[in-house]
């Protein structure tokens, strides 16, 4: 009799497990987890309405089972979006956490001003000068066919952005313009009006640190008004007055 009792017990346990699993699956797919609220976090440059429009249709979907990859793809189409993550606040709230692309420089083109990030991605076309002052990159030509979100594949732009990425933040705040010529020689124009000739290189860290230490030195600040240029193309920097 013992084997028969064991078989019967196993049968009942199996049926109970199946019923519980089925009930749990139906519960998870029920309206108890239908998305009713959508919140957006991490916004600075983008309005919340823009993200909510891109996530249109998500309300009513199951919070636990919605297609994360599809929604991430839709939101990532926005040119100012760098990455997207989701947080589920049970039972019915979806939090969209975005990381924005940050403008690093401006490029003047015939039909306006382009904002670009440190990776060379075209963020926005502006019709007037922005409130925040970013360094202007000059000496490059970009096709008018590029659109927001595209990477501007220009070696000259990449050289200028590489330089800005290697500069101390305090120095970047004092750079008004980065001019790049056809052979990637770079000249800076500080907001004080001083021209800084840097020449050609791939690694600017030493020169940029030396430049920053020079312009904050008391000896330099005492004569700054009469300085026209600083030449870093020689072994030692030369100050021209």
pLDDT digits (tens, 9 = 90+) for 168-219: 999 999 999 999 999 989 999 999 999 999 998 888 999 999 999 999 999 9
What is the reported pTM? 0.78
- What's the pLDDT band for 16 if we cut at 50, 70, 90? low
- Give the residue from 190, 186, 179, 182 showing the smallest Cα distance to 200: 186
- What's the pLDDT band for 110 if we cut at 50, 70, 90? confident
Average pLDDT over residues 119-139: 88
Q: Quick one: pLDDT at residue 157?
A: 94
On the question of pLDDT at 85 being above 70, the answer is yes
Name the more confident of 6 and 182: 182
> For residue 29, what are the CA distances in angstroms to 25, 33, 60?
6, 7, 11
What percent of the chain shows pLDDT beyond 70? Answer: 88
- 186-190 sheet: strands from edge to edge: 122-126, 112-117, 103-109, 136-138, 175-180, 186-190, 195-199, 229-231, 238-240
Task: Give the least confident one: 52-56, 61-65, 99-103, 195-199.
Answer: 61-65
On the question of pLDDT at 70 being above 70, the answer is yes
- Pairing type for strands 81-89 and 93-100 reads antiparallel
Average pLDDT over residues 210-232: 92
Name the more confident of 15 and 125: 125
Burial class (CB in 10 A: 0-12, 13-18, 19+), 122: buried
Q: Quick one: pLDDT at residue 18?
A: 67
Task: Give the least confident one: 127-131, 146-150, 160-164.
Answer: 127-131
Cα 82 vs. chain centroid, distance in angstroms?
5
What percent of the chain shows pLDDT beyond 90? Answer: 59
Average pLDDT over residues 147-164: 92
Cβ neighbour number for residue 161 with a 10 Å cutoff: 22
On the question of pLDDT at 50 being above 90, the answer is yes
């Amino acid at each position: 009799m013992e084997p028969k009792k064991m078989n019967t017990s196993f049968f009942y346990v199996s049926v109970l497990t199946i019923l519980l699993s089925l009930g749990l699956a139906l519960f998870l797919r029920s309206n108890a987890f239908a998305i009713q609220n959508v919140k957006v976090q991490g916004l600075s440059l983008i309005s919340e309405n823009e993200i909510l429009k891109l996530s249109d249709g998500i309300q009513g979907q199951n919070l636990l089972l919605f297609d994360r990859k599809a929604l991430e793809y839709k939101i990532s189409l926005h040119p100012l979006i760098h990455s997207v993550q989701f947080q589920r606040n049970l039972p019915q709230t979806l939090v969209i956490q975005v990381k924005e692309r940050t403008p690093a420089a401006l490029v003047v083109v015939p039909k306006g001003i382009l904002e670009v990030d440190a990776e060379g991605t075209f963020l926005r076309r502006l019709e007037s000068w922005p409130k925040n002052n970013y360094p202007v990159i000059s000496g490059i030509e970009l096709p008018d066919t590029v659109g927001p979100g595209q990477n501007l594949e220009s070696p000259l732009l990449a050289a200028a952005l590489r330089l800005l990425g290697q500069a101390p933040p305090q120095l970047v705040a004092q750079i008004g313009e980065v001019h790049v010529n056809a052979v990637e020689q770079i000249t800076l124009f500080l907001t004080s009006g001083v021209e800084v000739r840097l020449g050609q290189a791939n690694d600017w860290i030493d020169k940029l640190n030396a430049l920053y230490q020079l312009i904050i030195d008391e000896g330099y600040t005492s004569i700054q008004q009469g300085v026209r240029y600083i030449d870093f193309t020689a072994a030692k920097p030369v100050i021209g007055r």
